[in-house]
Structure 1
Amino acid sequence: MKKLLILLLSAIKLSICAQIGINTKTPKSILDVNGDMNLRGKLSVPNAANNQLTTGVNDQILVSQGEGYPPIWKTLRIPDYEQNKFYLIFSNSFSDRTGVKFTSSEESTNGASISTSLVKNTNISALNLFRKISSLSQPFTLYSATSKMYFQFETVVQADFPSNGNPDISIDYACGIFVDDKLVNLRQRNIKASSATNTFITHNQIGIAENLSKGNHTVSVACARLKSYNSSATLGIGINVATNIDSFITQSSLKVDAYEVPEVFNPVTN
């Protein structure tokens, strides 16, 4: 009886304070297994919602919640990708109400050499007086070398023109979509005075970039005033320059979609 009591007390003490090592003399946790382990029965973890043990359901995995918190069961959803097909990997949209303004003295010198200076992959640093619309500069990440990027930019352009006269009153301007500060798409337009004062127009632009390098990138939109015709009016792109419209109406938006051909196909086994 005395031996049995000693053995029982030793077991209780071991269960309270000891660390158990299997195939190791220096366990680093309550149970430290140095080697393979086969589990033939159920595995249960506490459920924080009801403080009961749960074994999860079919196809769930255990996910760590960090130090001091019990793991939880999560359902693993793996998309079914087919090789050599494009899939939408990233999609987001952004808006801006600050826009950019240009006076008649702030015309880009690129207006005189559009066909040679406003060409694909030109760095924005080489373009004169192109100004970024601040909140439309945004990061994105690509995971495949085979990709297609779609950019859709929309804004409102206004000039504080008087009513149109003879000869016509108008302004040429341009907006470019840039990736990592390199030009991937450009649209040039003209805003013309009408019978009413303070003319405004809607500007829509879609750009495409293919097979960018894997990793982190930044998309941005920048615009410039190119040339004025019989006008000293102020030009606003994405911002109003007169009170017949406001910043809500003139705000800019940018939609970014990334399609990729996935490069890694991991087999999923049950």
Structure 2
Amino acid sequence: MRKLILIIAIMSGLLISAQIGIKTESPKAILDVNGDMNLRGKLSVLNVTNNTIPEATNDQILVSQGEGYPPIWKSLRIPDYEQNKFFLIYNNSFSDRNGVEFSFSEESSNGSTISTSLIQNANISTLNLFKKIPLLSQTFEVYSEQSKTYFQFETVVHADFLGNQSNTDQSIDYGCGIFVDNKLANMRLGNIKASSANYPFLTHNQIGMIGNLSKGNHSISVACARLKSYNTEARLGIGINVASNIDSFITQSSLRIDVYEVPQVFNTIIN
């Protein structure tokens, strides 16, 4: 009897440690099922963070964490979409404290050809001395053929009129453009003028929209230029301070992107 119990115990250990195949003679995992599986009871997985074995709640699915890690339960939330209605599919915002600075010699030749050069879909490569604000260059994706992409750009324009504030006839024209795939989608012009206050600054805000971008990835960027100077050789900063009366926290730039789409066929879930 003792020998029989010992043999059964050894065989049980072998069975526990061996790979088990159902409808396959060469299992590739501890349990390898070659066919359909119907689970009638509960399914639990180990949570390695607290060493518990939780059960899923209603509408949760198992999500892989990659090789060597156990799967985890995740809630799957799929919104209801109405036919032919726009829904917010993508939303994000970005900030930048680097900005762009212009000396008197960095004046764009487009200042004298505004009506013919700063036109819709103008490629940024054709524009003179337009500088991109570094961290506002980003990418986003469009999933539908029917879409509206809105963007809002805000920054602070700062000028150092070389301490000659008594001459209030000094001013600088500037322009900022929002580019999608390096093509001009929105442009706003402005002017900063000397006053009795030292080192004037102003808030620049622009909102634009582009419709029905092609499906896929797109780039967005913001670029600005010094267009014309009047009676001054002052430095100009857009998104950056050029004097100590304000700092980079005050002058920082921000860009917000909202993509509204009429949902069509979305990417399928793949393994």
TM range (shorter): 0.7 to 0.9
Is 2:226 the counterpart of 1:225? yes
Q: Match for residue 176 of structure 1?
A: 177
Identity score, percent: 70
Q: Distance in 1 between matches of 2:202 and 2:67?
A: 56
* TM-score computed with the length of structure 2 as normaliser: 0.87
Q: Match for residue 244 of structure 1?
A: 245
Q: Distance in 2 between matches of 1:179 and 1:245?
A: 31
Q: Which deviates further from its counterpart, 185-194 or 120-129?
A: 185-194
Contact between 2:143 and 2:266, CA under 8 Å: does it hold in 1? no
Which runs of 5 or more residues in structure 1 are unaligned? none
Letter in 2 for 1:259: Y
Deviation at 1:128, TM superposition (A): 0.4
Q: Match for residue 186 of structure 1?
A: 187
Q: Which deviates further from its counterpart, 174-183 or 16-25?
A: 16-25
Q: Match for residue 264 of structure 1?
A: 265
Secondary structure in structure 2 of the residue aligned to 1:198: coil
Deviation at 1:202, TM superposition (A): 1.4
Q: Match for residue 35 of structure 2?
A: 35
Deviation at 1:55, TM superposition (A): 3.4
Q: Distance in 2 between matches of 1:44 and 1:195?
A: 72
Q: Distance in 2 between matches of 1:148 and 1:240?
A: 34
Secondary structure in structure 1 of the residue aligned to 2:139: strand
How many equivalent pairs are there?
Answer: 265
Contact between 1:160 and 1:241, CA under 8 Å: does it hold in 2? yes
Cα distance change, pair 72–190 in 1 and its aligned pair in 2 (3 A): closer
Q: Distance in 2 between matches of 1:132 and 1:247?
A: 17
**Alpha-carbon displacement from aligned partner over 1:91-123 (angstroms, at most 9, x marks no partner):** 222222221122222211111111111011111
Deviation at 1:145, TM superposition (A): 2.2
Q: Match for residue 74 of structure 2?
A: 74
Deviation at 1:43, TM superposition (A): 2.5
- Root-mean-square deviation (CA), in Å? 2.5
Cα distance change, pair 190–53 in 1 and its aligned pair in 2 (3 A): closer
Cα distance change, pair 44–194 in 1 and its aligned pair in 2 (3 A): closer
**Alpha-carbon displacement from aligned partner over 1:47-71 (angstroms, at most 9, x marks no partner):** 4466454432322222223333333
After TM superposition, list the pairs within 5 Å mapping 1:158-177 onto structure 2.
Answer: 158-161=158-161, 162-163=164-165, 165=167, 168-177=169-178
Deviation at 1:234, TM superposition (A): 1.6
Is 2:126 the counterpart of 1:117? no
Which runs of 5 or more residues in structure 2 are unaligned? none
Contact between 1:81 and 1:265, CA under 8 Å: does it hold in 2? no
Cα distance change, pair 236–14 in 1 and its aligned pair in 2 (3 A): same
